[in-house]
């Protein structure tokens, strides 16, 4: 009985294998370049590592993403200074939806041992909003000046990686400086976020 299966010649097989190897060789550099891409801050997966102070500008409606690893043994403070300074008022829920501010996000599961708390998907699906910057940070009960926003993470039982979303929901392009301060000692917004006195 004769088989109806097509016969593949050695020459056809060799040609096919050569074409497959060539396609794989072309794909490898593309995969490597994607894996080595420099984060551009366009989203949480492309968040720029934050250390010290970073600066940038945002058009109305734009956001920039940064990331840092909280060390459980240290106090952290994030300070955002933006120009032009925008007067801001929180919503009835107590958060900001306009002006220049930042959100602190965490990706994980509420059952994780290091769960820092927060509201799921408040800003982005799959992320918990751990906190949002504020102007009401002075130990005297006063507020920080317009254009200055602040958030603090004290020492904790767990180390976590946070994503920081700097948001411009004002009507003008802003320039900003975002600063991460770490200390073994408690950090005061009065010392850390207020402008230095004029010389």
Q: What torsion do the CA atoms of 33, 38, 43, 49 make, to the nearest 10 degrees? A: 140
Do 74 and 12 have their domain in common?
A: no
Domain with 188, as residue range(s), is 44-192
Do 84 and 123 have their domain in common?
A: yes
pLDDT in tens, 176-189: 999 999 999 877 77
Angle CA 189–50–94, to nearest 5:
45
Do 49 and 27 have their domain in common?
A: no
pLDDT value at 26 more than 50: yes
| Count of positions (residues) in the chain | 199
Q: What's the token pair of residue 152? A: 């603090």
The chain-wide mean pLDDT, for the chain, equals 84
> What is the pTM for the complete model shown?
0.78
pLDDT in tens, 138-157: 777 788 899 999 999 999 98
Q: What's the token pair of residue 24? A: 């794989």
Do 153 and 137 have their domain in common?
A: yes
Mean pLDDT of 99-128: 94
Do 66 and 162 have their domain in common?
A: yes
Do 69 and 91 have their domain in common?
A: yes
pLDDT in tens, 38-51: 999 999 999 999 99
Q: How would residue 56 be classed by pLDDT, with cut points 50, 70 and 90? A: very high
Looking at residue 61, its pLDDT comes to: 97
Q: What's the token pair of residue 160? A: 């976590």
Do 188 and 123 have their domain in common?
A: yes
Share of the chain above pLDDT 70, in %: 78
């Amino acid at each position: 009985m004769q088989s109806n299966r097509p016969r593949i010649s050695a020459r056809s097989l060799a040609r096919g294998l050569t074409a497959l190897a060539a396609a794989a060789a072309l794909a490898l550099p593309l995969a490597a370049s994607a894996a080595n891409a420099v984060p551009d801050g366009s989203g949480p997966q492309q968040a720029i590592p934050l250390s010290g102070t970073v600066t940038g500008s945002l058009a109305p409606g734009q956001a920039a993403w940064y990331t840092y690893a909280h060390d459980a043994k240290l106090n952290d403070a994030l300070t955002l200074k933006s120009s032009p300074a925008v007067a801001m008022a929180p919503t009835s829920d107590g958060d900001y939806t306009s002006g220049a501010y930042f959100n602190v996000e965490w990706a994980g599961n509420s059952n994780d041992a290091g769960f820092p708390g927060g509201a799921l998907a408040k800003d982005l699906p799959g992320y918990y909003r751990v906190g949002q910057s504020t102007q009401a940070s002075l130990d005297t009960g006063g507020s920080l000046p317009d254009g200055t926003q602040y958030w603090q993470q004290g020492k904790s039982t767990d180390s976590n990686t946070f994503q920081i979303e700097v948001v411009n929901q004002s009507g003008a392009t802003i320039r900003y400086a975002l600063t991460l301060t770490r200390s073994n000692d408690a950090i005061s917004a009065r010392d850390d976020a207020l402008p230095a006195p004029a010389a």
